[in-house]
Amino acid sequence: MHEHDVVVVGAGGAGLRAAIAAQEAGADVAMVSKLHPVRSHTGAAEGGINAALRDADSWQDHAYDTMKGSDYLGDAPAVEALCQESPEEVIRLEHWGMPFSREDDGRVSQRPFGGLSFPRTTYAGAETGHQMLHTMYEQVVKRGITVYDEWHVMDLAVTDEDDPAERTCHGVVAYDIQSGEISGFRAKDGVILATGGMGQVFDHTTNAVANTGDGVAMAYRAGVPMEDMEFIQFHPTTLPSTGVLISEGVRGEGGILYNEDGERFMFEHGYANNDGELASRDVVSRAELTEVNEGRGIEDEYVHLDMRHLGEERILDRLENILHLAEDFEGADGLTEPMPVKPGQHYAMGGIETNEFGETVIDGLYAAGECACASVHGANRLGGNALPELIVFGKRAGRHAAGEEMGEAEVTTGRSSDWEPADYEFGVEVGETDGSDPAAADGGAVATDAESVVGGAVDRAQERVDELLSRKGRNHAEIRSAVQETMTANVNVFREEGRLEETLADLREAREAYKDVAVSDPSRTFNTDLIHTIETRNILDIAEALTMGALAREEFRGAHWRKEHQERKDEEWLKHTLISWNDGEPELWYKPVVLEGENKTYEPKSRSY
């Protein structure tokens, strides 16, 4: 068994920042990641990092924009922390050598992004995430932090009290992908989940193939509520064939969207008369699909994004990476022709419920970054707000886990006094299927001492792997693609009740099929068949929670559009959706959104751009 003070699961932006912060706070830290750190998906982020750096700007304005962008579903204490701390975090990255783009006076450049009242998005060309990931990994190398790369974390080691709020997380179980050896990792002070996005729930996504939401699903099954899962961001500019992202930076620099008739539809069809292409992402995504659905799309599928008029010099200076992506993946030369784009799944606003220090309801278990829901993005994340989230909340979780005193949290977790049970009937059975392996579903163990809890989790994981490798059955790939197809067809930008119900039924079928899943590659060496089989289980659990949330939320807020409910219902729905696994039986409930910040109370206003 490996033993460390703090174990960070995942080594992308949030994980790296958490590990550095915990180490600075004096902890012995280890990172465990199924990829080598530099392969993490943070590297694919393009656009930039929002931070109020200039005298003419303020963190208060950033907070206001973020609350408005969230459609008033962000929790103000978390949003204010994000906006207050991102300037120092961005400058810290700069002090670590991050090669930001520069102004003539040598200062870090900033550009406009959708939904921002000031051009406060700092960036490094159109490869900001790559530069940030590498800069932070360099700091991890410098500090000699232990990294277990290509170790796949399978499960959390959590005690088995009835009430999740009484449970303690003592570590994780992981296996070495190179050797197949399963080991326990005891974390004396805390486990921080920083496992990133869950884009593989959909089949048209900007997310990496590795983004299967492992941390989210593990926490869910261990008893941590999932928060606001129905809020999925669809990015308006992804390449139609692959889902590869074309940065919002293109529109930030002045890129224009055209339909098949050559109309600048954001204005000409009145989708966003003030902000046009720079309206918030949900607004632009719906506009594009409406154009396609009304017959003004190109090839009935996409629209054009044109940046030719920006001029070669500016494009090469600020968006060069976009030229390469459009050429390599779509065969389009952005300098001489418009690029084809359509909306694609991009970001999960919801995730593991945490407070503003990254703590979950389970003692010793933290989450930060895209897998977590603090919640700073609410119903819609503003472009340029994901990267500051990684560093601000990665740092906070790292420090807290390492034992630093950080005060009382204002965001509550678990079933505190203001929880409200939901009375929605789903019509389809949800949760664990009969006869499926309970071990993988159960976060707990009977024992309470740390060694036995981790040891028990290791035994269960070993049994599970042995069984998957020894039996005959179905391959995960068909189950995974069935989930991805139904989610993309029915739980996309536009959502209707009947089709959401259909999806729950499809997911039920996929769950039944998963009971018989087996791994046909018998090897213990680099068994990707086994990894993908375990991941597919995570995809299933997440897809179901997401669809449940989408069905029950009968209103239109941020990225969540419902055909039957075309208005935001503040009276009834200024609240977060929570879903608890409860030993295989998902239960839905709500808690109110926190609109009172330290700075001000954010009164919901109609959101126009």
Partner 1 sequence: MSTQIPKQTEESTETETEPASKGDERRAEKRRRAAERREQRQEEEAEKAAADESTVELKVFRYDPQVEGKQEPRFDTFHVPFTKGMTVLDALMYARDTYDSSLTFRHSCRQAVCGSDAMFVNGGQKLACKTQISDLDEPVRVEPLPHAEVTKDLVVDMEHFYDQMEAVEPYFQTNEYPDGELEEQRQDRENREKIKMSTRCIWCGACMSSCNIAAGDNEYLGPAAINKAYRFAMDEREGEEMKQKRLEIIEQEHGVWRCQTQFSCTEVCPKDIPLTEHIQELKREAVKNNLKFW
Would you name the residues annotated as active-site residues? 281
Q: Which candidate, 116, 106, 52, 129, places its Cα nearest to that of 252?
A: 116
Burial environment of residue 419 by CB neighbours within 10 A (0 to 12, 13 to 18, 19 or more): middle
Q: Which candidate, 66, 45, 47, places its Cα nearest to that of 118?
A: 66
What mask of x and - would describe binding to partner 1 in positions 112 to 141, judged by CB under 8 A? ------------xx-x--xx--xx--xx-x
List strand residue ranges (DSSP E) for 243-338, in order. 256-258, 303-306
Residue 48 tokens, joined: 């930039």
Residue ranges of alpha helices (H) inside 402-527 are 438-441, 450-470, 476-490, 497-514
293 binds partner 1 (CB under 8 A): no
Segment 412-431, which members bind partner 1 (CB under 8 A)? none
> Cβ 211 to partner 1, closest distance in Å?
8
Q: How far apart are CA 249 and CA 572, in angstroms?
A: 36
> Cβ 258 to partner 1, closest distance in Å?
12
SS3 percent helix, strand, coil of the chain, rounded to 5, is 40, 20, 45
One-letter identity of residue 260: E
Quick one: angle between helices 13-24 and 128-143, nearest 10?
30
Q: How far apart are CA 15 and CA 288, in angstroms?
A: 35
Nearer to partner 1, 324 or 569 (CB): 324
The residue within the footprint of partner 1, chosen from 162, 163, 261, 301 (CB under 8 A), is 301
40 binds partner 1 (CB under 8 A): yes
466 binds partner 1 (CB under 8 A): no
Segment 568-607, which members bind partner 1 (CB under 8 A)? none
The residue within the footprint of partner 1, chosen from 24, 58, 96, 599 (CB under 8 A), is 96
What mask of x and - would describe binding to partner 1 in positions 492 to 521, judged by CB under 8 A? ---------------------------xxx
Contact segment (CB under 8 A) with partner 1 among 102-110, 446-454, 538-546, 584-592 equals: 102-110
Contact segment (CB under 8 A) with partner 1 among 72-80, 95-103, 362-370, 548-556 equals: 95-103
> Cβ 251 to partner 1, closest distance in Å?
19
Nearer to partner 1, 1 or 209 (CB): 209
Q: How many residues bind partner 1 (CB under 8 A)?
A: 79
Contact segment (CB under 8 A) with partner 1 among 31-39, 362-370, 377-385, 390-398 equals: 31-39
What mask of x and - would describe binding to partner 1 in positions 174 to 213, judged by CB under 8 A? ----x-----------------------------xxx---
Q: How far apart are CA 556 and CA 535, in angstroms?
A: 31
- Is 71 in contact with 568 (CB distance < 8 Å)? yes
Contact segment (CB under 8 A) with partner 1 among 157-165, 241-249, 363-371, 575-583 equals: 241-249
Query: What would the 3-class secondary structure string for 45-60 be?
Result: CCCCEECCCCCCCCHH
Cα angle: 129, vertex 340, 607; to 5 degrees? 70
Q: Which candidate, 468, 517, 444, 433, places its Cα nearest to that of 218?
A: 444
What mask of x and - would describe binding to partner 1 in positions 323 to 362, judged by CB under 8 A? -xx-xxxxxxx-xxxx-x----------------------
53 binds partner 1 (CB under 8 A): yes
